[in-house]
């Protein structure tokens, strides 16, 4: 079985040289729509500590809530969730989109998380499968770091995957 399985595209990215940023991971035709999967990379893989589980879980709850309520983009949001490697998140959106199209949306999203005060939405036993695994202070800190160090200073290198050498 292993010999007949194709390598999935996300395993062909040069993670050694990958920077923090926003990347198009893939585009899929589903029915009459294109769904763009974005790699919202908050950490440089294998070169800096990953996001803490509580922080990324809280970022997931806050970002998903914010995005699904955004007046301009809500009807295009399909999914927001953490990467298993804990270096970022995936954002799936309806439409044939590029990183440049959503920089401002990501700036607003991470500003929302960085400045959030109050109870984390969905962080109750009836709403979440692991409601105790939240860390709002670290979610805010990591979001502010990503916002100020990356999203506010985007370059082409932060929006186009490095090619494998």
The residue assigned the tokens 């970002």 is 63
159 located within any domain: no
What is the extent of the structural domain holding 83? 2-154
127 located within any domain: yes
pLDDT grade, residue 164 (50/70/90)? low
| pLDDT at residue 12, rounded to an integer | 74
| pLDDT at residue 28, rounded to an integer | 95
160 located within any domain: no
Q: Are 27 and 41 in contact (CB under 8 A)?
A: no
Q: Are 95 and 34 in contact (CB under 8 A)?
A: yes
162 located within any domain: no
Q: Are 58 and 120 in contact (CB under 8 A)?
A: yes
131 located within any domain: yes
Q: Please say if the pLDDT value at position 1 is more than 70.
A: no
139 located within any domain: yes
Instruction: Note the pLDDT tens digit of each residue in 107-130.
Output: 999 999 999 999 999 999 999 999
The CATH number of the domain holding residue 78 is 3.30.1360.80
How many domains is the chain built from? 1
| pLDDT at residue 9, rounded to an integer | 65
| pLDDT at residue 143, rounded to an integer | 98
**Which tokens hold the place of 106?**
């990501």
Instruction: Note the pLDDT tens digit of each residue in 13-64.
Output: 788 889 999 999 999 999 999 999 999 999 999 999 999 999 999 999 999 9
Residue 29: C-alpha distances to residues 34, 79, 93, 159 (Å): 5, 16, 12, 22
163 located within any domain: no
27 located within any domain: yes
| pLDDT at residue 15, rounded to an integer | 86
Instruction: For the chain, give the number of residues.
Output: 165
Q: Are 1 and 31 in contact (CB under 8 A)?
A: no
| pLDDT at residue 113, rounded to an integer | 98
CB neighbours of residue 108 within 10 Å: 17
């Amino acid at each position: 079985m292993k010999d007949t399985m194709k390598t999935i595209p996300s395993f062909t990215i040069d993670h050694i040289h990958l920077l923090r940023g926003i990347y198009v991971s893939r585009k899929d035709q589903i029915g009459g729509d294109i769904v763009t999967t974005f790699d919202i990379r908050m950490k440089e893989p294998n070169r800096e500590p990953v996001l803490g589980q509580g922080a990324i879980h809280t970022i997931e709850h806050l970002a998903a809530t914010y995005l699904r309520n955004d007046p301009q983009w809500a009807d295009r949001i399909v999914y927001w969730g953490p990467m298993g490697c804990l270096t970022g998140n995936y954002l799936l959106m309806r439409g044939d989109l590029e990183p440049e199209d959503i920089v401002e949306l990501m700036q607003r999203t991470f500003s929302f998380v960085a400045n959030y005060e109050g109870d984390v939405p969905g962080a109750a036993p009836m709403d979440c499968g692991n409601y105790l695994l939240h860390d709002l202070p670290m979610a805010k800190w990591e979001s502010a770091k990503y916002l100020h160090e990356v999203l506010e200073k985007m370059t082409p290198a932060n929006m186009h995957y490095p090619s494998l050498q």
